[in-house]
Chain A
Amino acid sequence: MGKTLFEKIWESHIVVEKQNEPDLIYIDRHLVHEVTSPQAFDGLRMNNRKVRRPDLTIATMDHNVPTTDRSLPMLDETSSIQIKTLENNCKDFGIKLFDINSPNQGIVHVIGPQLGITLPGSTIVCGDSHTSTHGAFGALALGIGTSEVEHVLASQTLWLEKPKTFEVRVEGKRKNTHAVTAKDIILSIIKNIGTAGGTGTVIEYRGEGISDLSMDQRMTICNMSIEGGARAGLIAPDEKTFDYLRNREYTPKNYESLVDSWRDDLKTDSDATFDKQFILDINDITPQVSWGTNPGMTCDVDEPIPSPDEFSNGDPNQKKGAEKALEYMDLKPGTMIEDIKIDRVFIGSCTNARLEDLIEASKIIQGQKVASNVSAMVVPGSQMVKKQAEEMGLDKIFTDANFEWREAGCSMCLGMNPDILSPGERCASTSNRNFEGRQGNGGRTHLVSPVMAAAAAINGHFVDVRKLDLN
């Protein structure tokens, strides 16, 4: 019987395999950031261990870095200590670090692909749940906790339970590819399978609706696999993948011969079977807007907010969850999405802060002004994205419209730096999580695509971007 892409990558990385034991899996790349690594390095020191493969370990700082002028001293002392700690750890253990002043600094999941560090068929881990992003390149990319970070630093391996396989097939063609985006596809998938739908599985996204996407868009899809509960998301590499990674700063020297073997090997066999399957037809999908406090609580832009009864289908906990979510979000069932007014707009995060996201959003912004009741910011995913955008003049389009144009980092996606919502503020956000308090205590998050966020900024409320001329 044939094998899935996941099974092929898994099997090619097994170091130790025994009946009724976890598999010991070799890790090809380990990405490290300032928040989930300090205790791991402390653990190494305590046990007199070295980093096994510093050459396969790459670090940057993204979670708590300020996105304002970096020539000024950092005001937050605890963040400053965490950043300094990562610098010291990288120096002590011989790890390559893209620090706060590096032109390669950025969100770890944005810089990995941009630098050619993320490679098809490889295993990648990082102490961050959105490591799933790298699956867009046909890499098996897992988010791990700090104990596992320490284990990988020490041994370049991990004991893992083999996940099950889940095929998510995306069929059809979007009618308006500027208005209906990769973000809308993944939010639709999560809305349908639920936030635990992928638990214990690795999703492989397949079908015409996926192969049509650019690499930036595929990363948006794989990024949010974790929001559907999956361990990882994968897309088989194709010519778009190989073209993207060609001639990057860290692309391997023997790249073309690698591509030849990837072309043959890195695909699911036609007779392979998956443990689970879900099919999404995207011919008629609309822009998506989350209304609740998890990414599964999402509806079409032209729908009213559902009542807890409608949402829950008779499940009492789902009903209670929807009631609590509506209370937290200060929303009423039946309210049309386009009638929801917003206070803040955040275009950023490892989900939607790559160059293409900024280009698409800028088309909506050009020649317009942010609504007077809204404050809006763009936080590019990396300093490289920022530079490329500036070379194209995008920064001017955003700042002319009264958007703030910031330095790269995770920023308001998770509220670890000063970029947070105030209690009660409502935000149209291109990030990945609308959990209570995620963007700041009491803040209210609506997950949307970059074009939806941009249109909301201009209008002061959500707008169905299919009505706009985006070409």
Chain B
Amino acid sequence: MRGNIIKYPRDNIDTDVIIPGQYLKVHDYAELATHAMEGLDPDFHSKVKEGDFILSGKNFGCGSSREHAPIALSHCGVKAILALSFARIFYRNSVDGAFLLPIEIDQDAYDGISEGDEIDIDISKNEIKNITKNQTYKMKPFSEIIGKIIAAGGLFKYKPDQD
């Protein structure tokens, strides 16, 4: 999976800035997407491209349980969030609906990857390649559970292993 980075070098990006409360009444996902990150970066919608990744700090997606947050980002074309850590409801929402991949990175990746860098994510190897800078970082492997939900294509497609 290859894409370019939009970097928000801060912690605690909450779901209220990802999609402000006033838009939770919007049911058209294309319209919802036009308001993604509006609370933090009003230019986001004009700069994001299909296949982009967002990179950020700790506790990404904290706050409200609104699934509108990963939905809005995915409908802008964002395929993955790379963050030092995630709030759990956002993390689960991202994979439950197969909206985007929440990828936990370490400090090396966080420091090494810059805005605009082209990145290749290989979840089979738990590896992130920075094409622009010719660097490689490790990603934290998904737990077995989350890996299986992702592989199935979301919560409703997941079936436990048969005995």
| A interface, CB within 8 angstroms of B | 16, 18, 20-22, 24, 35-36, 38-39, 43, 63-64, 76, 78-79, 81-82, 127-129, 143-148, 150-151, 159, 161, 195-196, 199-200, 226, 229, 231, 294, 296, 317-318, 320-321, 324, 414-416, 420, 433, 435-438, 441
Contact = CB atoms under 8 A, between A and B. Distances in A.
Contact of B12 (A63, A82, A195): A195
Which bracket fits the contact residues of B? Answer: 35 or more
A229 to B, nearest CB: 6
B102 to A, nearest CB: 13
Interface string B96-114: 1100000000000000000
SS class of chain B's interface: helix, strand, loop or mixed? Answer: loop
Given A128-B65, A317-B9, A438-B16, 8 more contacts: A21-B144, A21-B145, A35-B25, A146-B67, A148-B155, A195-B62, A415-B20, A435-B17
B17 A39 contact: no
Interface stretch (B47-55, B81-89, B127-135): B81-89
B10 A145 contact: no
Contacts of A79: 25
Contacts of B40: 436
20 contacts: A20-B144, A35-B25, A35-B66, A39-B27, A129-B64, A145-B92, A145-B97, A147-B67, A151-B156, A229-B62, A294-B12, A320-B10, A321-B10, A324-B10, A414-B16, A414-B21, A420-B22, A433-B16, A436-B16, A437-B17
Contacts of A438: 16, 21
Contacts of B11: 196, 317-318, 321
Task: In the A-B complex, list the 6 residue pairs whose CB atoms are closest, starting with the nearest.
Answer: A145-B93, A147-B96, A145-B67, A78-B25, A196-B59, A146-B67
B3 interface: no
A160 B160 CA distance: 12
A22 B63 contact: no
A435 B40 CA distance: 11
B60 to A, nearest CB: 10
Interface string B138-163: 00000111101100001110101100
